[in-house]
Amino acid sequence: MTQSQRLARPPIQFILGLLALLVAFCFKSVVTAPPNVSETLSTTGFDTKVAIDRLAWILGDERPHPVDSPANDLVRERILSEIKTLGYTPEVRDDFACRGSKRFGGMSCARVRNILFRAGPSGGGAALIAAHYDSVPAGPGASDDGAGVAATLEIAARLTGRKLTKPVIFLLTDGEEVGLLGASSFVRKDPWAKDVALAINMEARGTGGPAIMFQTSAPNGRDIAALTAKPVRTIANSMAADIYRTLPNDTDATEFLAKGYDVINFAFIAPVARYHTPLDNLANLEPASVGHMGGAALVALEGHLAGKPTANALEADVIYSDVLGRFILVMPKAVGYGLLGFGLLGALFAYVRSGPKGVVRALIAPLAALLVAGGVGFGALWLINQVRVESQWWFATPMAGRLLVYSSGLLGALIALWLCRGISPTRVLAGAWIWVTGLFLGLSIVSPGSMILAAPAAGLAGAGFLLTGMKIDRRLLQVIFGLASALVLLIFILPALDFAEVGLGFGLGWAFGAVGALLMLCTLAPIWQPETKLAGASLLTLLAIGGAFAWAAFTPAYSPEIPRPLNVQHWHGDGGDHAWVLGPGEEAAPTSMQALAPFKLASLRNSDSKRVHAPAPVLSGTPMPARIEVLAETKTAEGRTLKLRVLAPGADEVILSVPKEAQVRMLNGGSDGQAGGLTFDAPKALGLRCVGRSCVQWDLEVKLGPTPAPWITRAVLRKLGPEGDAIVKARPPWASPVQGGDVRVTNQSQKL
């Protein structure tokens, strides 16, 4: 075999590098798995077994316990009993609370009963340990947020008998699931709210996975100082916190941030398909996840208690990231900019000194990798969505999605290397790092926290590039520093990608693949030879893409463990029409249900969107519609001010849909006329909601336009009558109620 033939074959280290990269991207969740309960106990003192045993007693028969329901009363009484057993004196704050949201265009109300107790001295500077104890109507809430309740009580148990230097307030909110009502009530009205300096909130959006610290206040110096005062195992990075601020998602921490507290917010989020379903039960709750979250929260509390008062000190704003979930690296933003800038200058230095050949191609190649990976991934995902009727198939086959998008990333990296044939490997590697450092410097404009993911690796790469100017073996330096900086880059970015996949799904999978292509190019370039033929490797990558496509496109999307969310609603309208309505979403009815009724996606009376529905029999019993009484009306030149009373006898929930034509300019809820007040700059459609037993009579005040408009009232009863037995029985085992579950809805139109 000639020398040229040997070079034409990919060296073994290159082939192994390809395989290692694909394995690392597809199985990256292994390195972020939560510690076992024994490790958590030995390192933090948090006893997971005791915490879950306590939760099992609190949940009892695991019935759903939404706000202001008899089941929630029982859960609350058992929580109070446990708190007293721990030696504390709990207090219950009873409040009819409303919270408005301009973002979503509406308001939610309910009677909430927050549970509070405290330890340590009186006064300010307190740490708030918070979770919520209500569940959605469809599920028992063992994870969301029974896990937070269990962790809160176990943290309280760890403090029993200790002499504390700062106050600790424990808050178990009610009504979180219907709009953060308990947290809103606490920050607006509770006398203890003024004492809080740091809020540590615990949540769940699944039944397992690692504990993720995904939200802080801004600036965040005190938050991160408390979290990292002692070694802590959690998943966290400042880019995720930046992104979360832009999302429409909310937890109780939203209210704590608005109050001005420092905030540390934890959650575990896998698998999302069990979120707000009957599968959110004790059997599926992963003990290691509860321990991971509770242990990290306990460490953060201990850090706050040990910290010195800094009330008048200027708070730093830092960037941070976990390192394989083992510890958290923290650095000032200036250091992040410095390392990225140093890496960019080093890459430019090496790029310029790499001779005249390939000046343009080596700089275009990384862009080609991004475009190929993103384009192939986008096209493949689009085709799968055309083949499948299921909108979120990736929850059932996440590994198929990973293999698809990261094989696309690998293809992009290989094409970039093919474009660079005959060019100096140093220039190819420098070109890739110019793009990496430039990309993250650009991202820092909108997300300064993103710098932490690339800055350490950029600093290492920059040092390697500058050393190539020395009279030593440049090829050896390239391999050593190139692989070392690529490894550091992967260590920081892979856990962040895993978090993004679980939280966002593969709707943005093409973007994950594009990022992967750039990372893979940085990893492969140090071990690549310019004369190496890449056709065989590219063919294998195309086969991997094809296999992943078939896996994702044709594997059953749902199972009893990862179910399709599917509620059955029985609607009765004021026009005498009756309908079965399926949701959420617009997926077709399962065959077994279609056999009972001719479901179709079409417009529905008293609905502002198309819904999957079919004719239904008459509601059993006497429908009890909600009605609106006008208690007082004041007319002005601008419009009208109405004091309203909504009456919904026997309903578990009442919903008002207000059309844009009503021209609502101001909205207040609650008997005090102040709860959840909202003003609107322009007319918009609104949704108003009151949940629980207290909503049989609901008072509102509204300022609106002069012309009456039709409001839709919906009285919701959380159970189906006997006429629903057959349709519920026909729901397949791979489908499950979600959120509000199966309900009867009585609709009525009323002009106001």
At 738, list the tokens. Answer: 């979600």
pLDDT tens readout for residues 705-739: 999 999 999 999 999 999 999 999 999 999 999 99
CATH architecture of 62-307: 3-Layer(aba) Sandwich (3.40)
Q: Quick one: pLDDT band at residue 4, thresholds 50, 70, 90?
A: very low
- Mean pLDDT over 213-231 rounds to 95
For 358: left if phi > 0, alpha if psi spans -120 to 50, otherwise beta; the answer is left
Q: What SS3 class is residue 257? A: helix
Q: What is the mean pLDDT of residues 531-560?
A: 90
The rounded distance, in Å, linking the Cα atoms of 734 and 736 is 7
Question: Are the C-beta atoms of residues 67 and 115 closer than 8 Å to each other?
Answer: no
Bridge partner list, 667: 678, 702
Q: Where are the domains of the chain?
A: 3-31+333-554, 62-307, 563-752
| 601 vs 575, residue with greater confidence | 601
Cα–Cα distance, 114 to 76 (Å, whole number): 9
Phi-psi region of 12 (alpha: psi -120 to 50; beta: other; left: phi over 0): alpha
Q: What is the pLDDT of residues 300-337, one digit of tens each?
A: 999 999 987 655 668 999 999 999 999 999 999 999 99
Using alpha carbons only, give the angle 38, 40, 42 rounded to the nearest 5 degrees. Answer: 70
Helices (H) then strands (E): counts for the chain:
21, 25
Q: What is the pLDDT of residue 312?
A: 61
Q: What is the pLDDT of residue 444?
A: 96
Q: Cα 90 to the chain's mean position, in Å?
A: 31
- Mean pLDDT over residues 244-265, rounded? 93
Torsional class of 513: left (φ above 0), alpha (ψ -120 to 50), beta (otherwise): alpha
Task: Please report, rounded to a whole number, the percentage of residues in the chain having pLDDT higher than 70.
Answer: 96
Q: What per-residue confidence (pLDDT) applies to 672?
A: 52
pLDDT at 529: 82
Confidence of residue 676 (pLDDT cuts 50, 70, 90): low
Amino acid sitting at position 459: G
Spatial contact of 615 and 599, defined as CB atoms under 8 Å apart? no
Among the listed residues 69, 185, 96, 55, the one whose alpha carbon sits nearest the alpha carbon of residue 171: 185
CA pseudo-torsion sign 560, 561, 564, 566: positive
Mean pLDDT (whole number) for 105-129: 95
pLDDT at residue 564 above 60? yes
* Contact status, residue 742 vs residue 720, Cβ threshold 8 Å: yes
Give dist(CA 401, CA 506) in Å, integer: 7
Longest dimension (CA), the chain: 97
- H or E stretch covering 117: strand 106-119
First to last CA, the chain: 90
Q: How many residues does the chain have?
A: 752
HEC string for 128-178: EEEEECCCCCCCCCCCCCHHHHHHHHHHHHHHCCCCCCCCEEEEEECCHHH
Q: What is the pLDDT of residue 477?
A: 74
Res 670: pLDDT: 65
The alpha helices in 307-355, defined as continuous H runs, are 333-352
Of 201-205, 238-242, 261-265, 507-511, minimum mean pLDDT range: 507-511
User: In 3D, which of 744, 624, 642 has the Cα closest to residue 696?
Assistant: 624
pLDDT in tens, 620-669: 887 788 999 999 999 988 899 999 999 999 899 999 999 999 999 988 88
Peptide bond before residue 174 is cis, with ω within 30 degrees of 0 = no
- Percent of the chain at pLDDT above 90? 77
- Residue 237 DSSP label: B
| Residue position matching structure tokens 């009890």 | 624
CA distance linking residue 606 with residue 406, whole number of Å: 45
Question: What value does the mean pLDDT take over residues 200-209?
Answer: 96
Average model confidence (pLDDT) across the chain: 92
Amino acid type, 475: R
pLDDT in tens, 151-201: 999 999 999 999 999 999 999 999 999 999 999 999 999 999 999 999 999
The token pair at 133 is 């104890």
Rounded Cα gap, residues 750 and 752, in angstroms: 6
Residue 702 — pLDDT band, cuts 50, 70, 90?
very high
Tell me the mean pLDDT in the region 203-229: 95
How confident is the model at residue 582, as a pLDDT?
97
Question: β-strands 564-565, 126-132: how paired?
Answer: unpaired
Predicted confidence band at 1 (pLDDT cuts at 50, 70, 90)? very low
The one-character DSSP state at 309 is P
The helix (H) or strand (E) run that includes residue 258 is helix 253-259
- Output the pLDDT for position 522: 96
- Tokens 């800055």 sit at which residue? 455
**pLDDT by residue (tens digit) across 13-43?**
778 888 999 999 999 999 899 999 999 999 9
pLDDT at 9: 54
pLDDT over 70 at 671, yes or no: no
